[in-house]
Amino acid sequence: MKTSSIFFLVFLMYIQLFAQKQKVWLDSDTGNEMDDLYAIVRLLKEPSLDVVGLSSAHFNNPDLLVFEKWNAYDTKDLNTLEDSQRLNKLILKAMGLSHIPHPKGADRQIGRAWGGQEPRDSPTAQSIISLAKSLPEDEKLDILTLGALTNVASAIIIAPEILPKIRVYALGARYNQNTRAWSKNEFNIRNDLNAFDYLLDLAELDFTIMPLETAFPLQFDRDLTYLKTDDNVPVEKILADRWREQNPQDKTRIMWDLALVQAYILPQYSEKITVNSPPENKTYTVKIFSKIDSQAMTDDFWNVLKK
């Protein structure tokens, strides 16, 4: 009996050792704000996951047409997709991970300004489709989106047969847990409302949303961030420089995108619930992250960054 128990424990250890890591794709409007970079670095440093792609997303918005500045950028000739792509390449190179696929996404929303579901094909959409189709029967691809949902929506519209093979986790929208009311009046969603509505209408899609209210408590202090990052370490210098260049006036920043990544990686520090979908959409319910432990997530980020 004792020998059998030992054999069983050894067998379990063997299975865990060689178990297939969960494949994760991260889609990011990296050029938009500084917190995208922190989220990307944290995911890339997670040893329990297999990050199989880092794609660029646009952050086109009406302000680019009428104002001279967007964050620290001159809006004249600004290509939001190209800037996200540039930063993705920069991070991967600094971390010695340029072998990870990093295709370009779509340069605009699906459909048109008045609606529609015409996809925006791109190297990202095609890569997601190919990868999802290549997975064994018992595996799924987890797709995390930090900006507009254009790329994942386009992939599904082009190849709806991938639906059973993917799970989508998105940062966006607002949800009041007291009144149970949704609001789509939020930056990521406004940048492709058509894509968000399309995904919410898919009953077969495994879809989890982090509303802004849930991410709000995860805030970093500027001076502490400068203190904790080492300019002699390339990727840490990139993170600190991003704050210095984009938001030097801000003593604190809400780390929206990092909150989604941390909730995904560390389910013990977050809670999920199922809520009613927005009444105008076709599905009845959707999952949301309802609560996070912001201090635990903050401590984890700095611990992992320094490993």
**CATH superfamily of domain region 26-305:** Ribonucleoside hydrolase-like (3.90.245.10)
Q: What is the pLDDT of residues 114-138, one digit of tens each?
A: 999 999 999 999 999 999 999 999 9
Q: What is the pLDDT of residues 75-104, one digit of tens each?
A: 999 999 999 999 999 999 999 999 999 999
**pLDDT value at position 241?**
97
3-state class (DSSP) for residue 48 = coil
Q: What is the DSSP letter of 54?
A: E
Residue 177: exposed, middle, or buried by beta-carbon count in 10 A (0-12, 13-18, 19+)?
middle
Question: Are 107 and 151 within 8 A, CB to CB?
Answer: no
**pLDDT value at position 19?**
66
**pLDDT value at position 80?**
97
Please identify every stretch of the chain with a pLDDT value under 50, giving residue numbers as ranges: 1-18
DSSP 91-141: HHHHTT-TTS------SS-SSBTTB-------HHHHHHHHHHHHS-TT--E
Q: What is the pLDDT of residues 234-268, one digit of tens each?
A: 999 999 999 999 999 999 999 999 999 999 999 99
β-strand pairing of 69-70 with 73-74 = antiparallel
**pLDDT value at position 240?**
98
> If you search the block for the tokens 């971390």, which residue do you land on?
95
Residues composing the chain: 307
β-strand pairing of 206-210 with 166-171 = parallel
**pLDDT value at position 14?**
41
**pLDDT value at position 20?**
87
Q: Where are the domains of the chain?
A: 26-305
Closest CA to 155 of 266, 30, 27, 262: 27
**pLDDT value at position 15?**
41
Question: Are 163 and 244 within 8 A, CB to CB?
Answer: no
Burial 18-40 (b: 16+ CB within 10 A, else e): eeeebbbbbbbbbbbbbbbbbbb
| Kind and range of the H or E run holding 292 | strand 285-292
pTM: 0.93
